[in-house]
Structure 1
Protein backbone atom coordinates (compact mmCIF):
# COMPACT_ATOMS: atom_id res chain seq x y z
CA UNK A 1 0.00 0.00 0.00
CA UNK A 2 1.28 3.46 -0.92
CA UNK A 3 0.22 4.80 2.46
CA UNK A 4 2.82 2.58 4.17
CA UNK A 5 5.51 2.69 1.47
CA UNK A 6 8.96 4.14 2.18
CA UNK A 7 8.07 7.18 0.07
CA UNK A 8 4.85 7.93 1.96
CA UNK A 9 4.59 11.00 4.23
CA UNK A 10 3.72 8.74 7.18
CA UNK A 11 6.86 6.65 6.76
CA UNK A 12 9.06 9.74 6.40
CA UNK A 13 7.45 11.30 9.49
CA UNK A 14 7.99 8.17 11.57
CA UNK A 15 11.56 7.89 10.35
CA UNK A 16 12.30 11.49 11.30
CA UNK A 17 10.58 11.04 14.67
CA UNK A 18 12.80 8.03 15.33
CA UNK A 19 15.88 10.06 14.35
CA UNK A 20 14.85 12.85 16.75
CA UNK A 21 14.29 10.31 19.54
CA UNK A 22 17.76 8.81 19.05
CA UNK A 23 19.32 12.28 18.88
CA UNK A 24 17.54 13.30 22.09
CA UNK A 25 18.79 10.20 23.93
CA UNK A 26 22.36 10.93 22.82
CA UNK A 27 22.01 14.56 23.91
CA UNK A 28 20.72 13.53 27.35
CA UNK A 29 23.45 10.93 27.88
CA UNK A 30 26.29 13.22 26.88
CA UNK A 31 24.85 16.12 28.92
CA UNK A 32 24.72 14.14 32.17
CA UNK A 33 27.94 15.60 33.64
CA UNK A 34 26.22 19.03 33.16
CA UNK A 35 29.54 20.71 32.29
CA UNK A 36 29.44 18.91 28.94
CA UNK A 37 25.99 20.21 28.03
CA UNK A 38 27.51 22.72 25.62
CA UNK A 39 29.52 20.02 23.85
CA UNK A 40 26.49 17.74 23.50
CA UNK A 41 24.35 20.66 22.32
CA UNK A 42 26.88 21.51 19.62
CA UNK A 43 26.99 17.85 18.60
CA UNK A 44 23.17 17.71 18.48
CA UNK A 45 23.08 20.82 16.30
CA UNK A 46 25.64 19.30 13.94
CA UNK A 47 23.28 16.33 13.45
CA UNK A 48 20.06 18.38 13.33
CA UNK A 49 21.49 20.69 10.68
CA UNK A 50 22.17 17.61 8.56
CA UNK A 51 18.53 16.64 9.11
CA UNK A 52 17.54 20.01 7.66
CA UNK A 53 19.87 19.52 4.68
CA UNK A 54 18.66 15.92 4.36
CA UNK A 55 22.32 14.89 4.21
CA UNK A 56 22.55 12.91 7.45
CA UNK A 57 24.41 9.61 7.64
CA UNK A 58 24.61 7.53 10.80
CA UNK A 59 23.29 9.52 13.78
CA UNK A 60 25.65 7.98 16.35
CA UNK A 61 28.75 8.56 14.20
CA UNK A 62 27.65 12.07 13.24
CA UNK A 63 26.99 12.94 16.88
CA UNK A 64 30.37 11.66 18.09
CA UNK A 65 32.12 13.46 15.23
CA UNK A 66 30.28 16.68 16.07
CA UNK A 67 31.10 16.28 19.77
CA UNK A 68 34.81 15.86 19.08
CA UNK A 69 34.94 18.65 16.51
CA UNK A 70 33.16 21.28 18.64
CA UNK A 71 33.98 20.48 22.27
CA UNK A 72 36.60 23.24 22.61
CA UNK A 73 33.98 25.89 21.87
CA UNK A 74 30.96 23.95 23.08
CA UNK A 75 32.34 23.50 26.61
CA UNK A 76 32.80 27.21 27.42
CA UNK A 77 29.59 28.15 25.58
CA UNK A 78 27.67 25.65 27.68
CA UNK A 79 29.07 27.17 30.86
CA UNK A 80 28.31 30.68 29.59
CA UNK A 81 24.72 29.62 28.88
CA UNK A 82 24.30 28.13 32.36
CA UNK A 83 25.69 31.27 34.02
CA UNK A 84 23.46 33.47 31.84
CA UNK A 85 20.32 31.55 32.83
CA UNK A 86 21.27 31.70 36.52
CA UNK A 87 21.99 35.44 36.29
CA UNK A 88 18.60 36.21 34.71
CA UNK A 89 16.83 33.94 37.20
CA UNK A 90 18.52 35.65 40.17
CA UNK A 91 17.63 39.09 38.82
CA UNK A 92 13.92 38.23 38.59
CA UNK A 93 14.07 36.52 41.99
CA UNK A 94 15.47 39.69 43.56
CA UNK A 95 12.84 41.75 41.74
CA UNK A 96 10.13 39.57 43.30
CA UNK A 97 11.48 40.17 46.79
CA UNK A 98 12.25 43.90 46.87
CA UNK A 99 9.74 46.71 47.28
CA UNK A 100 10.84 48.77 44.26
CA UNK A 101 11.12 45.96 41.72
CA UNK A 102 10.77 47.98 38.50
CA UNK A 103 14.51 48.66 37.97
CA UNK A 104 15.32 44.97 38.50
CA UNK A 105 12.53 43.94 36.13
CA UNK A 106 13.79 46.29 33.41
CA UNK A 107 17.37 45.07 33.83
CA UNK A 108 16.14 41.47 33.85
CA UNK A 109 14.16 41.80 30.62
CA UNK A 110 16.94 43.69 28.83
CA UNK A 111 19.53 41.17 29.99
CA UNK A 112 17.32 38.24 28.99
CA UNK A 113 16.73 39.78 25.53
CA UNK A 114 20.43 40.42 24.94
CA UNK A 115 21.56 37.00 26.16
CA UNK A 116 18.82 35.19 24.25
CA UNK A 117 19.84 36.78 20.97
CA UNK A 118 23.54 36.15 21.68
CA UNK A 119 22.91 32.46 22.37
CA UNK A 120 20.07 31.61 19.99
CA UNK A 121 22.19 31.02 16.88
CA UNK A 122 25.60 30.62 18.48
CA UNK A 123 25.68 26.80 18.48
CA UNK A 124 24.66 26.51 14.81
CA UNK A 125 27.30 29.15 14.06
CA UNK A 126 30.17 27.31 15.75
CA UNK A 127 29.12 24.09 14.04
CA UNK A 128 29.01 25.60 10.54
CA UNK A 129 31.81 28.21 10.68
CA UNK A 130 35.32 28.60 12.06
CA UNK A 131 35.34 31.59 14.38
CA UNK A 132 36.17 32.69 17.91
CA UNK A 133 33.59 32.47 20.68
CA UNK A 134 33.24 36.27 21.10
CA UNK A 135 32.73 36.72 17.35
CA UNK A 136 30.24 33.85 17.23
CA UNK A 137 28.24 35.42 20.06
CA UNK A 138 28.34 38.78 18.30
CA UNK A 139 27.31 37.20 15.00
CA UNK A 140 24.43 35.39 16.71
CA UNK A 141 23.13 38.68 18.09
CA UNK A 142 23.49 40.47 14.78
CA UNK A 143 21.81 37.69 12.82
CA UNK A 144 18.93 37.73 15.29
CA UNK A 145 18.53 41.49 14.99
CA UNK A 146 18.91 41.50 11.21
CA UNK A 147 16.27 38.78 10.87
CA UNK A 148 14.17 40.08 13.75
CA UNK A 149 10.80 38.98 12.33
CA UNK A 150 11.93 35.45 11.58
CA UNK A 151 13.71 35.25 14.93
CA UNK A 152 10.63 36.29 16.90
CA UNK A 153 8.57 33.75 14.98
CA UNK A 154 11.15 31.11 15.90
CA UNK A 155 10.97 32.14 19.57
CA UNK A 156 7.17 31.86 19.50
CA UNK A 157 7.41 28.33 18.07
CA UNK A 158 10.01 27.33 20.67
CA UNK A 159 7.86 28.84 23.44
CA UNK A 160 4.88 26.80 22.21
CA UNK A 161 7.04 23.66 22.21
CA UNK A 162 8.10 24.36 25.80
CA UNK A 163 4.49 25.05 26.80
CA UNK A 164 3.44 21.74 25.27
CA UNK A 165 6.29 19.90 27.01
CA UNK A 166 5.36 21.26 30.45
CA UNK A 167 1.59 21.05 29.88
CA UNK A 168 1.09 18.05 32.18
CA UNK A 169 2.89 14.97 33.48
CA UNK A 170 2.24 12.95 30.31
CA UNK A 171 3.54 15.64 27.95
CA UNK A 172 6.50 16.16 30.31
CA UNK A 173 7.43 12.49 29.96
CA UNK A 174 7.12 12.66 26.16
CA UNK A 175 8.99 15.96 26.20
CA UNK A 176 11.84 14.37 28.10
CA UNK A 177 12.13 11.77 25.33
CA UNK A 178 12.09 14.12 22.33
CA UNK A 179 11.70 17.72 23.59
CA UNK A 180 15.27 19.06 23.57
CA UNK A 181 16.04 17.50 20.19
CA UNK A 182 12.79 18.93 18.74
CA UNK A 183 13.77 22.41 19.90
CA UNK A 184 17.29 21.98 18.48
CA UNK A 185 15.78 20.78 15.21
CA UNK A 186 13.42 23.78 15.11
CA UNK A 187 16.24 26.27 15.69
CA UNK A 188 18.41 24.48 13.12
CA UNK A 189 15.75 24.91 10.43
CA UNK A 190 15.61 28.68 10.86
CA UNK A 191 19.37 28.99 11.32
CA UNK A 192 20.13 27.07 8.13
CA UNK A 193 17.68 29.21 6.16
CA UNK A 194 19.35 32.39 7.45
CA UNK A 195 22.84 31.00 6.85
CA UNK A 196 22.06 30.19 3.21
CA UNK A 197 20.86 33.74 2.64
CA UNK A 198 23.83 35.24 4.46
CA UNK A 199 26.31 33.10 2.54
CA UNK A 200 25.29 34.87 -0.67
CA UNK A 201 27.62 37.60 0.61
CA UNK A 202 31.10 35.94 0.78
CA UNK A 203 32.79 36.46 4.14
CA UNK A 204 29.66 37.79 5.84
CA UNK A 205 29.62 35.18 8.60
CA UNK A 206 33.32 35.52 9.43
CA UNK A 207 33.13 39.30 9.37
CA UNK A 208 30.75 40.78 11.98
CA UNK A 209 30.60 44.08 10.14
CA UNK A 210 29.33 42.38 6.99
CA UNK A 211 26.72 40.52 9.04
CA UNK A 212 25.62 43.85 10.43
CA UNK A 213 25.35 45.36 6.94
CA UNK A 214 23.85 42.35 5.13
CA UNK A 215 20.12 42.69 4.52
CA UNK A 216 19.19 38.99 4.20
CA UNK A 217 15.44 39.50 4.55
Structure 2
Protein backbone atom coordinates (compact mmCIF):
# COMPACT_ATOMS: atom_id res chain seq x y z
CA UNK A 1 0.00 0.00 0.00
CA UNK A 2 2.83 2.34 0.88
CA UNK A 3 4.31 1.72 -2.52
CA UNK A 4 1.07 2.84 -4.14
CA UNK A 5 1.48 6.31 -2.65
CA UNK A 6 4.59 6.83 -4.73
CA UNK A 7 3.11 5.53 -7.97
CA UNK A 8 3.00 8.18 -10.63
CA UNK A 9 -0.55 7.30 -11.63
CA UNK A 10 -2.18 7.09 -8.20
CA UNK A 11 -5.24 9.37 -7.81
CA UNK A 12 -3.56 11.80 -5.41
CA UNK A 13 -0.56 12.39 -7.67
CA UNK A 14 -2.82 12.69 -10.70
CA UNK A 15 -5.01 15.33 -9.04
CA UNK A 16 -2.04 17.31 -7.69
CA UNK A 17 -0.33 17.18 -11.06
CA UNK A 18 -3.45 18.50 -12.74
CA UNK A 19 -3.77 21.31 -10.19
CA UNK A 20 -0.15 22.24 -10.86
CA UNK A 21 -0.75 22.25 -14.60
CA UNK A 22 -3.79 24.51 -14.21
CA UNK A 23 -1.76 26.85 -11.99
CA UNK A 24 0.97 27.09 -14.64
CA UNK A 25 -1.67 27.70 -17.30
CA UNK A 26 -3.14 30.48 -15.15
CA UNK A 27 0.24 32.19 -14.86
CA UNK A 28 0.83 31.95 -18.61
CA UNK A 29 -2.65 33.31 -19.36
CA UNK A 30 -2.30 36.16 -16.85
CA UNK A 31 1.15 37.29 -18.02
CA UNK A 32 0.17 37.25 -21.70
CA UNK A 33 -3.05 39.13 -20.90
CA UNK A 34 -1.28 42.05 -19.22
CA UNK A 35 -1.14 44.14 -22.44
CA UNK A 36 -4.99 43.86 -22.43
CA UNK A 37 -5.13 43.87 -26.26
CA UNK A 38 -3.84 40.27 -26.15
CA UNK A 39 -6.52 39.14 -23.70
CA UNK A 40 -8.51 37.41 -26.44
CA UNK A 41 -5.63 35.45 -27.99
CA UNK A 42 -4.35 34.59 -24.53
CA UNK A 43 -7.76 33.21 -23.56
CA UNK A 44 -7.97 31.22 -26.80
CA UNK A 45 -4.51 29.76 -26.16
CA UNK A 46 -5.45 28.84 -22.59
CA UNK A 47 -8.56 27.02 -23.82
CA UNK A 48 -6.54 25.11 -26.40
CA UNK A 49 -3.98 24.00 -23.80
CA UNK A 50 -6.79 23.04 -21.42
CA UNK A 51 -8.27 20.89 -24.18
CA UNK A 52 -4.91 19.22 -24.78
CA UNK A 53 -4.63 18.53 -21.06
CA UNK A 54 -8.06 16.89 -20.99
CA UNK A 55 -7.10 14.77 -23.99
CA UNK A 56 -3.75 13.85 -22.33
CA UNK A 57 -1.88 15.31 -25.29
CA UNK A 58 -0.03 18.17 -23.61
CA UNK A 59 3.77 18.19 -23.84
CA UNK A 60 4.50 21.00 -21.42
CA UNK A 61 2.12 23.76 -20.38
CA UNK A 62 4.27 26.78 -21.21
CA UNK A 63 5.52 25.28 -24.47
CA UNK A 64 1.99 24.36 -25.51
CA UNK A 65 0.67 27.77 -24.53
CA UNK A 66 3.29 29.60 -26.56
CA UNK A 67 2.62 27.36 -29.55
CA UNK A 68 -1.15 27.95 -29.27
CA UNK A 69 -0.63 31.70 -28.82
CA UNK A 70 1.36 32.00 -32.06
CA UNK A 71 -1.01 29.85 -34.11
CA UNK A 72 -3.16 32.15 -36.29
CA UNK A 73 -2.24 35.13 -34.11
CA UNK A 74 -3.59 37.63 -36.65
CA UNK A 75 -7.03 36.00 -36.79
CA UNK A 76 -7.07 35.79 -33.00
CA UNK A 77 -6.31 39.49 -32.69
CA UNK A 78 -9.07 40.32 -35.18
CA UNK A 79 -11.56 38.29 -33.16
CA UNK A 80 -10.31 39.98 -29.99
CA UNK A 81 -10.83 43.39 -31.61
CA UNK A 82 -14.41 42.54 -32.58
CA UNK A 83 -15.17 41.26 -29.09
CA UNK A 84 -13.49 44.28 -27.52
CA UNK A 85 -15.58 46.70 -29.60
CA UNK A 86 -18.80 44.91 -28.67
CA UNK A 87 -17.91 44.91 -24.98
CA UNK A 88 -16.94 48.59 -25.09
CA UNK A 89 -20.21 49.52 -26.84
CA UNK A 90 -22.28 47.55 -24.36
CA UNK A 91 -20.45 49.01 -21.36
CA UNK A 92 -20.75 52.56 -22.75
CA UNK A 93 -24.49 52.16 -23.40
CA UNK A 94 -25.11 50.90 -19.87
CA UNK A 95 -22.97 53.69 -18.39
CA UNK A 96 -24.71 56.36 -20.49
CA UNK A 97 -28.19 55.15 -19.52
CA UNK A 98 -27.31 55.05 -15.82
CA UNK A 99 -25.78 58.54 -15.90
CA UNK A 100 -28.13 60.47 -18.17
CA UNK A 101 -31.55 58.95 -17.51
CA UNK A 102 -33.71 58.22 -14.49
CA UNK A 103 -37.09 56.80 -13.60
CA UNK A 104 -38.97 53.81 -14.97
CA UNK A 105 -38.00 54.44 -18.58
CA UNK A 106 -34.33 54.35 -17.64
CA UNK A 107 -34.80 51.08 -15.77
CA UNK A 108 -36.61 49.49 -18.71
CA UNK A 109 -34.03 50.70 -21.23
CA UNK A 110 -31.20 49.56 -18.98
CA UNK A 111 -32.77 46.12 -18.63
CA UNK A 112 -33.36 45.78 -22.38
CA UNK A 113 -29.79 46.88 -23.17
CA UNK A 114 -28.38 44.43 -20.63
CA UNK A 115 -30.49 41.60 -22.06
CA UNK A 116 -29.29 42.36 -25.61
CA UNK A 117 -25.70 42.51 -24.36
CA UNK A 118 -26.03 39.09 -22.71
CA UNK A 119 -27.60 37.55 -25.83
CA UNK A 120 -24.81 38.90 -28.04
CA UNK A 121 -22.21 37.63 -25.57
CA UNK A 122 -23.82 34.17 -25.70
CA UNK A 123 -23.63 34.16 -29.50
CA UNK A 124 -19.88 34.85 -29.25
CA UNK A 125 -19.30 32.42 -26.34
CA UNK A 126 -17.66 29.68 -28.44
CA UNK A 127 -15.45 31.89 -30.59
CA UNK A 128 -12.32 31.97 -28.44
CA UNK A 129 -12.51 28.47 -26.90
CA UNK A 130 -12.73 26.82 -30.33
CA UNK A 131 -10.44 29.12 -32.30
CA UNK A 132 -7.28 27.25 -31.33
CA UNK A 133 -7.84 24.43 -33.83
CA UNK A 134 -10.11 26.21 -36.25
CA UNK A 135 -9.07 26.85 -39.83
CA UNK A 136 -12.09 29.06 -40.47
CA UNK A 137 -11.93 32.77 -41.11
CA UNK A 138 -12.85 35.16 -38.31
CA UNK A 139 -16.33 35.70 -39.77
CA UNK A 140 -16.92 31.96 -40.19
CA UNK A 141 -15.85 31.35 -36.60
CA UNK A 142 -18.35 33.95 -35.40
CA UNK A 143 -21.14 32.31 -37.42
CA UNK A 144 -20.15 28.90 -36.09
CA UNK A 145 -20.24 30.20 -32.51
CA UNK A 146 -23.72 31.66 -33.03
CA UNK A 147 -25.01 28.33 -34.36
CA UNK A 148 -23.51 26.42 -31.44
CA UNK A 149 -24.96 28.92 -28.95
CA UNK A 150 -28.44 28.37 -30.36
CA UNK A 151 -27.92 24.63 -30.05
CA UNK A 152 -26.61 24.78 -26.47
CA UNK A 153 -27.78 28.08 -24.90
CA UNK A 154 -27.19 26.94 -21.31
CA UNK A 155 -23.57 26.05 -22.08
CA UNK A 156 -23.14 29.42 -23.77
CA UNK A 157 -24.50 31.38 -20.81
CA UNK A 158 -22.35 29.33 -18.40
CA UNK A 159 -19.23 30.20 -20.42
CA UNK A 160 -20.17 33.89 -20.47
CA UNK A 161 -20.83 33.88 -16.72
CA UNK A 162 -17.48 32.24 -15.94
CA UNK A 163 -15.52 34.64 -18.11
CA UNK A 164 -17.13 37.85 -16.82
CA UNK A 165 -16.98 36.73 -13.18
CA UNK A 166 -13.71 38.57 -12.37
CA UNK A 167 -15.08 41.77 -13.94
CA UNK A 168 -18.29 41.49 -11.92
CA UNK A 169 -16.33 40.90 -8.73
CA UNK A 170 -14.08 43.91 -9.38
CA UNK A 171 -17.12 46.08 -10.14
CA UNK A 172 -19.26 45.05 -7.17
CA UNK A 173 -16.98 43.91 -4.33
CA UNK A 174 -15.04 46.80 -2.73
CA UNK A 175 -12.04 44.69 -1.68
CA UNK A 176 -11.91 42.58 -4.87
CA UNK A 177 -9.06 44.57 -6.41
CA UNK A 178 -6.80 43.25 -3.64
CA UNK A 179 -7.40 39.55 -4.34
CA UNK A 180 -9.14 38.93 -7.70
CA UNK A 181 -6.00 39.47 -9.86
CA UNK A 182 -4.00 37.19 -7.55
CA UNK A 183 -6.62 34.42 -7.58
CA UNK A 184 -6.97 34.54 -11.38
CA UNK A 185 -3.19 34.58 -11.78
CA UNK A 186 -2.63 31.59 -9.47
CA UNK A 187 -5.50 29.32 -10.43
CA UNK A 188 -8.80 30.75 -11.66
CA UNK A 189 -7.53 31.89 -15.08
CA UNK A 190 -6.50 28.39 -16.10
CA UNK A 191 -9.39 26.90 -14.16
CA UNK A 192 -11.90 28.92 -16.18
CA UNK A 193 -10.37 27.72 -19.45
CA UNK A 194 -10.41 24.16 -18.12
CA UNK A 195 -14.11 24.29 -17.17
CA UNK A 196 -15.03 26.05 -20.43
CA UNK A 197 -13.44 23.31 -22.51
CA UNK A 198 -14.84 20.53 -20.34
CA UNK A 199 -18.38 21.85 -20.85
CA UNK A 200 -17.85 22.30 -24.59
CA UNK A 201 -16.33 18.87 -25.09
CA UNK A 202 -19.16 17.19 -23.21
CA UNK A 203 -21.89 19.26 -24.87
CA UNK A 204 -20.70 18.52 -28.39
CA UNK A 205 -18.95 15.18 -27.80
CA UNK A 206 -15.63 16.55 -29.00
CA UNK A 207 -12.68 14.18 -29.05
TM-score (norm 2): 0.80
Task: Give 2:115's match in structure 1, choosing from 109, 114, 118.
Answer: 109
How much does 1:88 deviate?
1.7
Q: Is the 8 A contact 2:155 2:203 kept in 1?
A: no
**3-state SS of 1:88 partner:** helix
Instruction: Give the 3 Å change call, closer, same or farther, for CA 153–89 of structure 1 in structure 2.
Output: closer
- Whether the aligned pair in 1 keeps the contact of 2:94 and 2:113 (CA below 8 Å) is no
Larger mean Cα displacement after TM superposition, 134-143 or 161-170: 161-170
Which structure 2 residues correspond to residues 1-217 of structure 1 after superposition, within 5 A?
Answer: 1=2, 2-3=4-5, 5-97=7-99, 98-99=101-102, 100-101=105-106, 102-114=108-120, 116-153=121-158, 158=162, 162=166, 172=180, 173-196=182-205
1:131 Cα deviation after fit: 0.6
Report the Cα distance in structure 2 between the residues aligned to 1:175 and 1:190, rounded to whole angstroms: 20
Structure 1, residues 163-211: CA drift from partner, whole Å, max 9, x if none? 99767658533333222211111111122233436x9xxxxxxxxxxxx
Q: Secondary structure at the match of 2:205?
A: helix
Judged with a 3 Å threshold, the aligned counterparts in structure 2 of structure 1 residues 154 and 71 are, in CA distance, closer, same or farther, namely closer
The 3 A distance-change label for structure 1 pair 31 and 149 is closer
Say which is worse superposed, 130-139 or 167-176, in terms of deviation.
167-176
Say if 1:165 and 1:171, in contact at 8 Å, map to a contact too.
no
What's the TM-score, normalizing by structure 1?
0.77
Helix, strand or coil for the counterpart of 2:72? helix
Greater relative CO (CA pairs within 8 A, separation 6+): 2
Instruction: Mark the CA change 1:39 to 1:149 in structure 2 (over 3 Å): closer, same or farther.
Output: closer
Contact residue 45 and residue 184 of structure 1 kept, 8 A:
yes
Contact 1:117 1:144 in 2 (8 A): yes
* Residue correspondences, number: 196
